[in-house]
A and B are shown apart, each in its own frame.
Chain A
Amino acid sequence: MTPVHATFGEVAAERRIASVPLSHVSVELGHLYMEDYEAGPDRLREQFARVAPWLATVRALWRERVPGGRARVSTCFLVDDYFSRFSTPAELLPMVLDAAAEHDLTIDYLARESACAHFEDARSGGVELARLVEDRLVDDPPPETDGSRPPVKETGWLCNGSRSPRTTPMQAMGKARPWEPPAQNAKRAHSIFVDVELWDERGPRRTWSCPFLAAVWQLLRLGLLRSDGHVPLPPVALDGGWPRDWDGLPAVVRLNPQAAPFSAYTTLSVLSPRFLPVELAVRTILSQVAVDDEVLRQVATRSESEGVRLEEELVDRISYVFI
């Protein structure tokens, strides 16, 4: 008898990672706090007037870059319903869409900031994106980190180097140590030391910081998150009009049925310069997030197959216009 080649497989022993449809670029048309909405439609109109020419530029640039000129560009807008709740979706969101339309802008997708922390509905069950990303943080090690001790952590904080040693005198230790500077790990001659608060806790309730949620938001737009191998919070169309309650709104709403996919190879955010410190913090966080290897490979293979060269490091796939 000839030898028989047996193969045996077990589903539970394999990793299955879903893939996500991808645009070339996801453009965030703005990020406003509740006080901006309180300021009324004029503030929104101003924002969209500033954004419109940049969106046109991005479209043109990608048309040049993509073979055949078929650039897939999707637009999105993030509503802050995490740090403060204001008005209702039914009152607020039509105002946003109208203001955008006045400048010929189409908002393809609308997302809730609170969904970057935690989202629960009948369709997707419960997803804690922020926890998911927190578990993927790999601290930037200062020189002489050899693995013999666990990484030095200040709970709830993340930095890009070594913090200043404590200068307060320890009890019965006599003289105080003179101040020593913190240091950035990858400094060029001089340090730019950044220390970011990821969250705080009052009693049992944890509040994620704005930069941390913004980092989650970037990862979601880059299509780099998976929950048990599934794509978390896929966009859904809204049926039956705007809900009267924020919790009735899906995490990511598809407003334009013809829109290119929500997630993209790269992202561009058009923001007011007052968001600069937030985005520095976001980049500090994102440069310490280890995205799943398999997911990175999926995205790289796909982009190569359509002749788009992607930056290897994920922070280099994110760009901004501060205006």
Chain B
Amino acid sequence: MLVMGEVHTGLLQNSGEISESTCRQVLALMAGETVRVSRRPIVHALSPERLTGVDCALPTASRSRVRGVGTVMSRCAVTGGRVAQGSSYVRVVRSEADRRLPWSHYLARPGVVEVLGKAKAADLAEGFTGDSAPGGTGGACLNLGAVSGRFLDLVQASPLLDRRAPFKIPRTSLRWVAETGEPSIRFTLHTEQERTLRLTHPGPFTPAVVDLCEDLATHDWLLTSLLVIVERARIGGTQGAQAVARLAPAIDHLMHLWMPAARVEEWLTPFWESLERRPGFSRQWRSLVDRVRDQVAMNTLALLNATAEAGRR
């Protein structure tokens, strides 16, 4: 029917970036399973996948009660030794039985939630990504955000991290729904930290779609964080040196991490490209990076001038 997921992204709670080998240890969530690491064009480490059992109502826009039983597939990732993610998703399918089956039935279908009774894909999609989406007050229904949040906490609580992050920045959450159909993508900013993504892709769902959503979430978080840092620097409203000092974390920790679509399969890159045209993530990123660099350059010039003047005196 459809696939729904939620990605939570945050700054790794460590003073500096962590090495590849530390990434491997931090993400070793399961005995006997290896952490997958890719090094080009940026170090990206992915934990083994874990399942969480659920049996609950699914979010619907119509508020009709739809019961789903199955497992949520979750994993954690660390990008550039600096950005941490907890990511979960479920493939929603119709159940062939109208009652709950023995648990082993669901474990034979990892990451699938079976719907008992009637449900419409559009109703579920709207319920999950619409404004009155879960996490809110409405009755208990599938809470992928909580699952992803716990997986992100699991990484952040690793004893290998020193928990002295260089700056404070909120986590962002990206709730996404993917369906098969005419290609389209809709990215929506809700509150400061909440985003939704509706994706229609040709052909059947593959885990590459999850990679795309995680990649978008990483870059949206980078952009959001850089914006926050630039805003906090109060350029123009404060002393140049002070502004530059406030911009320093961006230079030290964020600016080299922008690698859009680096881990996205080729058939899905058109989705990234269309978002690059409108709203133009990279355009905004470049403009912010230029702004940071210009501030540093101006400040350097001012310093050089001051030194030269002091020398003349």
CB under 8 Å from chain A, chain B span 208-248: none
Task: Say how far A152's CB is from chain B's closest CB, in angstroms.
Answer: 11
User: Chain B residue with minimal CB distance to A129?
Assistant: B32
Kindly identify, within residues 144 to 200 of chain A, every residue whose CB is under 8 Å from any CB belonging to chain B: 144-151, 160, 185-186
Given contacts A139-B53, A229-B34, contact A186 B103 (CB under 8 A): yes
Smallest beta-carbon distance B85→chain A, Å: 16
A22 at the interface (CB under 8 A from B): no
Closest to A225 in B: B32
**Interchain nearest-CB distance for B43 vs A (Å):** 10
A146: chain B residues at CB < 8 Å are 54, 56-57, 140-143
A316 to B50, CA, bound (A): 23
Name the distance in Å between B142's Cβ and chain A's nearest Cβ.
5
Q: Which residues of B are found within 8 Å of A150, using beta-carbon distances?
A: 150
A131 with B31, Cβ < 8 A, contacts A13-B38, A148-B143 known: yes
CA distance A286 to B103 in the complex (A): 10
| Residue of A14, A142, A145, A226 ringed by the most chain B CB atoms within 10 A | A145
Number of interface residues of B (CB under 8 A): 39
- A12 contacts B140, C-beta separation under 8 Å: no
B259 on the A face (CB < 8 A)? no
**At the interface, yes or no: B130 with Cβ under 8 Å from chain A?**
no
> A143: CB under 8 A from chain B?
yes
Number of interface residues of A (CB under 8 A): 48
Asked whether B36 lies within 8 Å of A14 as measured between CB atoms, the reply is: yes
Whether the Cβ atoms of B103 and A140 lie closer than 8 Å is yes
B101 within 8 A of A: yes
Q: List, in ascending order, chain A residues with CB within 8 A of B310's CB.
A: none
Instruction: Tell me if A209 counts as interface (CB < 8 A to partner B).
Output: no
Q: What is the CA–CA distance of A173 and B104 in the complex, to the nearest angstrom?
A: 40
Please give me the residue from chain A that is nearest to B30 by CB atom.
A135
Distance between B29 CB and nearest chain A CB, rounded to angstroms: 8
Contact A13 B54 (CB under 8 A): no
A286 in contact with B104 (CB, 8 Å):
yes
The interface residues of chain B, by DSSP majority, are classed as mixed
- B window 40-67: CB within 8 A of A: 40, 50-57
Q: Is the pair B39, A10 in contact by a Cβ cutoff of 8 Å?
A: yes
Per-residue B-contact encoding for A271-293, CB less than 8 Å = 1, 0 else: 00000000000000011111101
Most buried by B among A13, A286, A287: A13
- A296 and B108 contact, Cβ closer than 8 Å, known pairs A13-B37, A128-B31: yes
Chain A residues with CB under 8 A of B103? 140, 160, 185-186, 287-288
**Chain B nearest CB, measured from A261 CB (Å):** 21
Query: Are B36 and A13 neighbours in the complex by a CB distance under 8 Å?
Result: yes
A315 CB-CB contact with B under 8 Å: yes
Q: How far is the CA of A8 from the CA of B262 in the complex (A)?
A: 12
> Which label, helix, strand, loop or mixed, suits the secondary structure of the A interface?
loop
Flag if B140 contacts A148 (CB, 8 Å). yes
Q: Are A147 and B36 in contact (CB under 8 A)?
A: no
A141's nearest neighbour on chain B, judged by CB, is B53
Is B33 part of the contact surface with A, judged by Cβ < 8 Å?
yes
Contact indicator B32/A145 (Cβ below 8 Å): no
Q: How far is the CA of A12 from the CA of B46 in the complex (A)?
A: 11
A107 to chain B, nearest CB (A): 28
- What residues on B are CB-neighbors of A134 within 8 Å? 31
In the complex the two chains form, what is the Cα distance from A315 to B110 in whole Å? Answer: 16
Q: How far is the CA of A146 from the CA of B140 in the complex (A)?
A: 7
Is A313's CB within 8 Å of the partner chain B? yes
Separation of A289 and B71 alpha carbons in the complex (Å): 12
- The verdict on A306 contacting chain B, using a C-beta distance below 8 Å, is no
How far, in Å, is B155 (CB) from chain A's closest CB?
15
Q: How many Å from the CB of B45 to the closest CB on chain A?
A: 9
Tell me if A12 and B39 are in contact (CB < 8 A).
Answer: yes
What are the residues of chain A within 8 A of B141 when measuring CB–CB? Answer: 146
Q: A135-B31, A138-B71, A147-B52 are in contact. Are A287 and B150 (CB under 8 A)?
A: no
Closest 4 CB pairs of A and B: A141-B53, A13-B38, A146-B56, A287-B104
